[in-house]
Amino acid sequence: MENTILAQDLSIARAFFDKIDGQSANNILTDPKLSIERDGNIQVCYSPFDHIEKSARLVIVGITPGMTQAVNALNALNDAKLAGKSIEEALRTAKMTASFSGAMRSNLVEMLDFVGVADLLHIQSTASLFEFGSTDMHFTSALRYPVFVDDKNYAGNPSMLKTQLLRSMVETHLAEEAKLLPNAIWLPLGPLAEEAVLHVAGQGHLKRNNILVGMPHPSGANAERIAVFTGRKSPSLASIKTNSDKLLHAADRLKKQIANLKLGEAA
């Protein structure tokens, strides 16, 4: 069966869609209408990150949407509703609004092209995946909806897979996306996202060979590590904290992994 035939479960989005208005983004943590679940100091709030780009060939996975992303997505959804868009169109618009941009996007493109993802996908550069209207890229998070701990963005504590509420989100929402996009290339950003994606793969929803592990996070704070990873900066000139050997090993391993995927495609 083709993965595009499978239908996404939009029951959560439908439950919250009519509740969102022009004030929603101002009260994410305090508006009970936006609360999905709370467990002690952990709070899961609704923001429209439901849309799944079912024809995507590359999936980028973060940890969880932060407050800024959540606010932007809620505002975008409300604007889309006022413009008369359907729930599906509004969800897609909201998701696109919260996608990577600026330096993070350019860093990501540089690393993806360097290890051969553009060649694998038969495109000149992965930059084209970010173009408006592209359906080849899907952005998501290990924890689809915004998670806050003590009213702050979740950053990995408590453990995602050792906390029932968070583990359930991984095994429900992220697993659903894996089932809909089993043949895409999956790129988790950072060890926490990697742990979640590998967990879903361990449940049989993804092929391990389709998961790219070990690429530096594309944030501006990682500029030196990215430069070493892509060969723009000599390891001998890098600071000790960069851990150049680990980066070079990861780059070499990812290049070989993608080369093997190309061979499998040609077979």
Structure tokens at 238: 């890098």
Distances (CA, A) of 128 to 23, 94, 122, 132: 35, 20, 11, 9
Residue 134's pLDDT is what? 87
Domain ranges, ordered by start, for the chain: 25-266
How far from each other are the two terminal CA atoms of the chain, in whole angstroms? 21
Residue 104's pLDDT is what? 86
Report, as ranges of residue numbers, the positions in the chain whose pLDDT lies below 50.
Answer: 1-4, 266-267
My answer on whether omega of the bond before 188 falls inside 30° of 0, hence cis, is no
7-38 pLDDT, tens digit per residue, is 899 999 999 999 999 999 999 999 999 999 99
Cβ atoms 58, 126 nearer than 8 A: yes
Question: Residue 178: how many CA atoms within 13 Å on its side-chain side?
Answer: 27
Residue 246's pLDDT is what? 96
Burial-class residue 4 by CB neighbours within 10 Å (0-12, 13-18, 19+). Answer: exposed
Decide if domain 25-266 falls under CATH 3.40.470.
yes
Q: What is the pTM of this model?
A: 0.92
Characterize the bridge pairing of strands 42-45 and 35-39.
antiparallel
239-249 pLDDT, tens digit per residue, is 999 999 999 99
